[in-house]
Amino acid sequence: MKRVVLCRPSGPRNVGSIARVCANFGPIELVLAAPEKPSLLIHPEFEQMAHGVDLAAGRIRVVKDLREALEGCAWSYGFTARVRDDRVLLDWSEARGAIAERTSEEDLVALVFGNEITGLSGAEGSLCSELVRLPTSTEHTSLNLSMAVGVVLFSLFEGKALRTRPSRVAHIKQEAREYLIAHVKDVLGSAALSKSAREDIEESVERVFRRAVIETRDARAWHAVLRALGNWKVPQDYGLPPQVDKKARLKAREEPDAR
C-alpha cells in the first residue's frame, strides 16, 4: 500500500496533476504536509489539472507536518537530489525493487517529495527511512514535482507482475519507531559517562533505529529490555501521541509501580 506525501507544496497545478496520477496508478493515499497555500485545493488550476478525478479535493488529506503525515507508515522514502550529511543516497534503480516489494505487502509505504522550489529539507529527510535519487541527464538535473511523482508511481505500477508474495511479517509504523527511538535514547543516553558520550550514543541510536528494518516483535523486545532496566516511560512522556499496545498495557497493569 502506498501513500504519497507532498511536503510544503505551493503549486495548485502540481497538486492537481499529482491527484490525477495517483488515480491513474492507485489506489494511493495523497497527503499534503504543511502546504504553503491553504487555497491549493479550491484553486481553479487545481481543478483544471485534476479534471476527471471524482471528488479530487476530498481524496486529499492535509496535515500539519511530515511527522504527522508518516503516522501509520512502516517505511518512508524521501526523493531528493541532495546528499544529506552521511546519508546514503540510493539511485532509483537500486531502490525500486525494495519499494515495489514493500508496497505489495500490507505495510503502508510513504513516498515523500519536497517543495517545488526548495525540495526536501534536511529535517524532512531525516524522518525518512531511505533517501532516493531519480537520475537524469546532465543537461537538466531536476524534475518537475508532478513529473517526479508520475515517474515513481508509473514504475511501481508497471512492476506489479514482478512482485513477490506478500509477507506476513508486521513492521512497526512511523509513530512506533519514534517512540522506540526516544525510549532507547533516553535509557542508553542516561548511562553515558559524559555529555559528549551521551551525544554520540543518541546520534548513533538515531542513525541505526531510524533506518533499520524493525518488526513489531523486535520493538516489543526492545521495550521489554528498557523496562527491565527500570524505564517504564510511555509515548506521552516524550511528547508523542499515545499508542495502542495491548501487551505493554497488560504488563504495565501487572507492575503499576515499576515506573
pLDDT the model gives residue 245: 54
Return the higher-pLDDT residue of 112 and 51: 112
Q: For 208-250, what is each residue's pLDDT tens digit?
A: 998 888 989 999 999 999 999 999 999 999 999 887 655 554 4
Q: What pLDDT does residue 258 have?
A: 45
pLDDT for residue 171:
87
What pLDDT does 100 receive?
87
The pLDDT, as a whole number, for residue 81 is 83
61-108 per-position pLDDT tens digit: 999 999 999 999 999 999 998 766 677 889 898 889 888 888 777 789
Q: What is the pLDDT of residue 176?
A: 92
The fold of the 2-162 domain, in CATH, is: Alpha/beta knot (3.40.1280)
For the stretch 120-140, pLDDT in tens is 999 999 999 999 999 888 888
**Per-residue pLDDT, 251:** 52
Answer with the residue of higher pLDDT: 141 or 143.
Answer: 143
Looking at residue 167, its pLDDT comes to 55
| Domain extents in the chain | 2-162, 174-254
pLDDT averaged over every residue in the chain: 86
pLDDT tens, residue by residue, 10-26: 999 999 999 999 999 88
Distances from the Cα of 40 to the Cαs of 35, 43, 63, 68, 248, in angstroms? 8, 5, 14, 19, 42
Look at residue 178 and tell me whether its pLDDT is greater than 60.
yes
Confidence of residue 259 (pLDDT cuts 50, 70, 90): very low
